[in-house]
Each structure stands twice: as C-alpha cells, then as structure tokens.
Amino acid sequence: MDTVLNIVLVEDHASLRKVTAEVLRQEGYRVTELTCAEDLEDEIGGRRVDIFILDLNLPGEDGISLAHRLRTAQPGVGILMMTARDQPGDMVAGFMTGADQYLVKPVPVPVLLAAIGSLSRRLTAETRSAGGLHLEQARLVLLGSQGEIGLSATEASLLTGLARAQGQRMALFQVGELLGQGEDDFNKASIEVRIARLRKKLIDVGAPTDCVKALRNEGYQLCVPIQIR
C-alpha cells in the first residue's frame, strides 16, 4: 500500500509555489503543483489526493469555490487554505466551504509543516464512514450498503475523475482522456462499455440504477456522492 502523503498545491504565484513544493518534497511528501483550479481534472485525473493546499485568489475559479467542490466530492480529504486574505469574513467563508486549516501568508515553514502533520494524523486516524458509497483507492475497492467490489485501476480513475469534476460532469473527450484515448484512437463505443461496467458495479454495492447518467451529445454525470480515500 502506498503510504506517501499525496499533496496538491494550487498556487498561481510561481516563486512561492516552487519554494513551497520544494519544502514539502524535502519532507518526503509527493507534491503536484497547479496554477489554477481548471488544471485539476487534466493534471490529477483519478489519482489519490490526501491534502489540497489552496490559495484563495486564483485565476478563474477561486479557492473558496474549489474548496466547496472538493469537499462535496471528497468529504474526508484534507483542505488547507494558505492566503493573504486575513479578514474574519474570509476566514469564516474558508471554514464554511470546507477548509480544515486556514493559514495567513506569509506562513513560516514550521507552521505549515505542523498544519500538514495535524491533517495527516486526522486522515490516518479516521475510520471509514458508515453508509453511503466509499472508494478506497489504495485497495481499488468500492464499498456500499450491499457490500464491496473490486475495481480496476482504470475504473477507479474514472470514478474519481467524475466525483471531482465540477457538477460531477465530464465531457465525452475528458472521459476518453481518462481512459487513455486520444484524438486518433477515440472510441465512443469503448467508452460506453466502460461506463456500463462501472455503473453495474456501483449498483451492485447499493447505488441507484441512475447513478451514472449519459448526457446526450455531452458526456456523463455521476449522480451519487462518493467518499474517496
């Protein structure tokens, strides 16, 4: 089982992002650097993420909106906001939309590492939530009220990608990319087969029959909440 903590750092200030990422890597964490929320689906796909570190003043979708979306998709994920916005109203909004930690820049390195350590201990200690659907990425197992079922790595990646996408919707080409298809080998029929297999496994563990909907001429939408760890 992979025990290295996976961190996604979303920060548009290039030098601060690079310095922060290097500090975290020196501590043994696996870090993915992003400049904006819109890069999330393309760069992360279905890979497991333990902690998101978010700036609030991002180009495009801001950190508050991104935190809310991530918290909805992954109730158990760690979210640390690191921002220059120090007003009480900003802090309240941060916590209300999903932040576990809210740190005001400039953040001393020991404080950042202590905050991440605290989140890591919480993530390690948490037991699996009762009820609902739960994806354990490390074991490639989907759990629900009717039991558990194994997923392929591709199915886990597809399910995670749908759960993280805005509105839990993905365009057809995005699904194809998650399945390793490019423009030259795009195969809609193959995608439909993969989606059908994933839908059946969701239903087998307790999801409703319309858990993954086909959106005409658009793509697919996941219609149930999934807790991802």
- For 57, phi then psi, to 5°, come to -90, 75
| pLDDT value of residue 126 | 54
Pair 102, 165 in one domain: no
Q: How far apart are CA 157 and CA 163, in angstroms?
A: 10
Pair 188, 113 in one domain: no
Pair 111, 50 in one domain: yes
Highest mean pLDDT among 67-81, 129-143, 151-165: 151-165
- Residue 1 forms part of a structural domain: no
Instruction: Say if residue 150's pLDDT is above 50.
Output: yes
Highest mean pLDDT among 9-13, 40-44, 164-168, 216-220: 9-13
Least confident range from 46-55, 107-116, 129-138, 210-219: namely 129-138
Give the chain's domain count: 2
How sure is the predictor about 3, in pLDDT bands with cuts at 50, 70 and 90? low
The better pLDDT of the pair 47, 11 is held by 11
Q: Please report, for the domain that includes residue 59, its CATH number.
A: 3.40.50.2300
Pair 171, 114 in one domain: no
> Domain range spanning residue 37?
6-125
100, 174, 176 from 181: Cα distances, Å: 36, 9, 5
DSSP assignment of 170-221: EEHHHHHHHTT--STT--HHHHHHHHHHHHHHHHHTT--TTSEEEETTTEEE
What integer is the mean pLDDT of 103-131?
78
User: Per DSSP, what are the bridge partners of residue 227?
Assistant: 134
Instruction: Say if residue 80's pLDDT is above 70.
Output: yes
CA dihedral (165, 21, 122, 142) positive or negative: positive
Q: Please report, for the domain that includes residue 217, its CATH number.
A: 1.10.10.10
Q: Are strands 212-215 and 51-54 parallel, antiparallel or unpaired?
A: unpaired
Pair 121, 188 in one domain: no
Pair 110, 139 in one domain: no
CB neighbourhood size of 223 (10 A): 15
> Last residue of some domain: 86, 106, 125?
125
| pLDDT value of residue 124 | 60
- Residue 78 forms part of a structural domain: yes
Pair 99, 153 in one domain: no
Pair 141, 219 in one domain: yes
Q: Crossing angle, helix 63-73 and helix 153-164, to 10 degrees? A: 130
Q: What is the pTM of this model?
A: 0.60
DSSP assignment of 100-138: SEEEESSPPHHHHHHHHHHHHHHHHHPPPPSSSEEEETT
Instruction: Say if residue 4's pLDDT is above 80.
Output: no
